[in-house]
Structure 1
Amino acid sequence: MKDGDDMDKEMKILAIESSCDETSAAVVVNGRNVLSNIISSQINIHEKFGGVVPEVASRKHIEVISAVVKTALDEAEIKLEDIDAIGVTYGPGLVGALLVGLQYAKGLSYALKKPLIGVNHIEGHICANFIEHKYLKPPFVCLVVSGGHTFIVYMKDYGEFEVLGQTRDDAAGEAFDKVARAIGLGYPGGPKIDKISKEGNENAIKFPKAKFDGDTLDFSFSGVKSAVLNYLNKMKMKNIEINTADVAASFQKAVVDVLVYNAIKACKMKKVKKIAIAGGVASNSCLRKTLIYECKKEGIEVLFPAPILCTDNAAMIGSAAYYEFIKGRTASLDLNAVPNLKLGER
């Protein structure tokens, strides 16, 4: 079959996600209908460390994964025997965290004699839009912005991606976390900068916006991060009080303006009129507002998943697994975790 819309059989996928600090399990039907989506977050555990500690994350995944899967099945009112396939994230992510979910999924696949489907975590973020927008079909441009990833992707067909641009250093979400720490907001940085920015003047400080020569759609966020740190040091040396809200708002604007500019440029290059947003930073209110405003001028439709689908979750993995399955892409039990897995790699 070419795509999910042609499939007559109702296919139920149990999906598992454990790439970072969320343990999640979901039951998804035909890639679009979510029967359950259970997420056990570790934010409170890692907050005191100022970021995710891989060893701690792995241990916590081991502690809760069985209960999370059971809860997902119970909420979906379905038994393990009724599942048609098991989908699981196998990269990119923290290798120890990935292995917990992957080994659990492989055990279920072996015991139940059900197909195993390995899913790229970034592909999962993109497919979250199929859950939110039931009518959405390729082709479209997707801006993937999270703590670990920043990509502009052209989705040619289900399961077929062309990376048009990516960060050359820090991911946007990573830069948010580092700047939030520097101005005393703590972890996780993205939501905290978004909140305090509403009290600040986004034009108070002109931070640099990295743009490369030629047609590249790549990003760089290390420069703006360094500019913020230099600004803070300079103000401290001069004994001038820092307006945290202004710093946060000005930094956020510098990042958002580049994300929006490149996303619209990608649409023009590919001659499409749809941009889907994905990843944790897709919840950022400034990004949403700016993208909607600028795209309206260009006649481009902007699509966002609900905030719960922007974070790491298993429902998006279940959606991606379905489209992998109908392309005939299943995995054997020797599937291994690939922490640096690239989008489109098999």
Structure 2
Amino acid sequence: MLVLGIESSCDETGVALYDSEKGLIANQLHTQMAMHAEYGGVVPELASRDHIRRLVPLTHAALREAKVSYQQIDAIAYTQGPGLGGALLAGAAYTNALAFALNKPVLPVHHLEGHLLSPLLAKEQPEFPFVALLVSGGHTQFMAVRDFGDYELIGESVDDAAGEAFDKTGKLIGLPYPAGAILSQYAKLGHPDAFQFPRPMLHSHDLQMSFSGLKTAVLTAVEKTRATHHLSPQDTLPENIRNDICRCFQDAVVDVLVAKAKAALLQTGFRRLVVAGGVGANWKLREELSSLTVQTAPKRQPENIKTYFPPLDLCTDNGAMIAFAGAMRLVHGVQDAEKSGSFDVKPRWRLNEIVRDKMN
């Protein structure tokens, strides 16, 4: 079965082809990073217009890469949500028009399910069941994943997601867009003990998370630094202090995520962890979670946890994860393909709702 995947939820346009026998055979991606950098963040209207410009040439490029024709495609999967409404509509409209012209069925896919399943595209693939940590843009969630389509939300951020906190904190200290990714690079140059930032909800005895208070602590540190060094709001922070703030902020976020990951594994009894989403590319998070252990009782030996990550090029939004998720839902009988035609998008759509949507 050959599935074409279309991703357009935010600021990346992705088109890919997944063959259920051969695997991923084409993956084309265009990022709008340079365009949005001029505005310091994603401009939804510009994002939507750019998706429309890119979808046709990217589809042609994917077909050339895979050396297949339009008629060889069995189904077309697209991101139905969550995401920016206009951006989602661009991808949904294109998918349904193409499917109608080719007389092919369509597969609406949940964006976060794509991220959740993306580690299955790596050479070393996890087996079910596992705990999934989704750290993608505006989402930080823990899911108990028992099988394809069987996902239970067991914890999430109650305010800013980790990715949002990275971006907002980076912007707060004067970093250009995309501030979160730049922040993690400067963190490599900082000292971990330079600032004492809080670890919000670290001992909350549940799997909820909060990062807005951490962002406020960084703001306080920045204001004190400016006052101490007699800096105006327009002046840049000294490099060493900037790097230290980046490092200490990053370590605080990672400490919370690692602690909650351990708690999720103990709560579920699973011993496999899957990490997916843009923040899953963070070097410190990968370092800490790659050597994760849990201890079920004080006198028992710690148990090693096997942690799985998607390839780095599949951490950001991409068509490969959408094509794969659509194909797997078909192969495993979780979802039926639909006729092209009327469609809708779901800018706000919780991942655990897709199981209920299928049952109703």
TM range (shorter): over 0.9
Q: Tell me the equivalent position of 1:291.
A: 289
Post-superposition offset of 1:323: 2.1
Query: How many Å separate the matches in 1 of 2:249 and 2:202?
Result: 19
Identify unmatched segments of 5+ residues in structure 2: 231-236, 295-301
The one of 260, 269, 272 equivalent to 2:270 is: 272
CA contact (8 A) 2:75 2:337 kept: no
2:351 is equivalent to residue 343 of structure 1: yes
Partner of 2:80: 90
Mapped pair 1:301 → 2:291: no
Worse-superposed segment, 234-243 or 45-54: 234-243
TM-score by length of 2: 0.89
Q: Which moved further from structure 2: 279-288 or 230-239?
A: 230-239
Matches of residues 190-209 of structure 1 in structure 2 within 5 Å? 190-209=180-199
Task: Give the distance between the partners of 1:303 and 1:322, measured in 2 at CA.
Answer: 21
Q: What is aligned with 2:218? A: 228
The CA distance in 2 between the partners of 1:61 and 1:148, in whole Å, is 20
Does the 8 Å contact 1:159/1:323 carry over to 2?
Answer: no
| Separation in structure 2 between the aligned mates of residue 304 and residue 212 of structure 1, nearest angstrom | 24
Total equivalences in the alignment? 336
Q: Which range moves more in the overlay, 115-124 or 104-113?
A: 104-113
2:135 aligns with 145
Q: 1:112 aligns with which of 102, 105, 111?
A: 102
Give the match for residue 31 of structure 2. Answer: 41
Secondary structure at the counterpart of residue 39 of structure 1: strand
Aligned equivalent of 1:4? none
Give the percent of matched residue pairs that are identical in Structure 1 and Structure 2.
Answer: 40
- Extract unaligned runs of 5+ from structure 1: 1-10
SS across alignment from 2:320: helix
**Once superposed, what is the RMSD of the aligned Cα atoms?**
1.7
Task: Give the letter for the 2:336 counterpart.
Answer: R
User: How far 1:154 moved relative to its partner?
Assistant: 1.0
Q: Distance in 2 between matches of 1:47 and 1:36?
A: 28
| Match in the other structure for 2:233 | none
Q: Does 1:251 align with 2:249?
A: yes
The correspondence for 1:328, drawn from 322, 328, 335, is 335
1:74 is aligned to 64
2:202–2:260 CA contact under 8 A, matched in 1: no
Q: Distance in 2 between matches of 1:212 and 1:232?
A: 23
Q: Which amino acid aligns with 2:314?
A: L
How far off its partner does 1:29 sit?
A: 1.2
| Kept in 2: contact 1:179–1:228 (CA 8 A) | yes
Q: Which amino acid aligns with 1:279?
A: G
Conserved 8 A contact 1:32-1:130 = no
Preserved contact between residue 168 and residue 180 of structure 2 (Cα < 8 Å): no
Shift of residue 210 of structure 1?
1.1
- Opposite residue 293 of structure 1, the aligned amino acid is S
Q: Please give the TM-score of this superposition, normalised by the length of structure 1.
A: 0.93
User: Is residue 126–residue 272 contact of structure 2 (8 Å, CA) maintained in 1?
Assistant: no
What is the DSSP-based 3-state SS (H/G/I as helix, E as strand, rest coil) of the residue aligned with 2:291?
helix
Q: Alpha-carbon deviations, 1:233-254, whole Å to 9, x = none?
A: 1222233665000000000000
C-alpha distance in 2, partners of 1:31/1:246?
48
Deviates more, 1:158-167 or 1:291-300: 291-300
State how 1:159-174 maps to structure 2 within 5 Å: 159-174=149-164
Structure 1 position 12 matched with structure 2 position 2:
yes
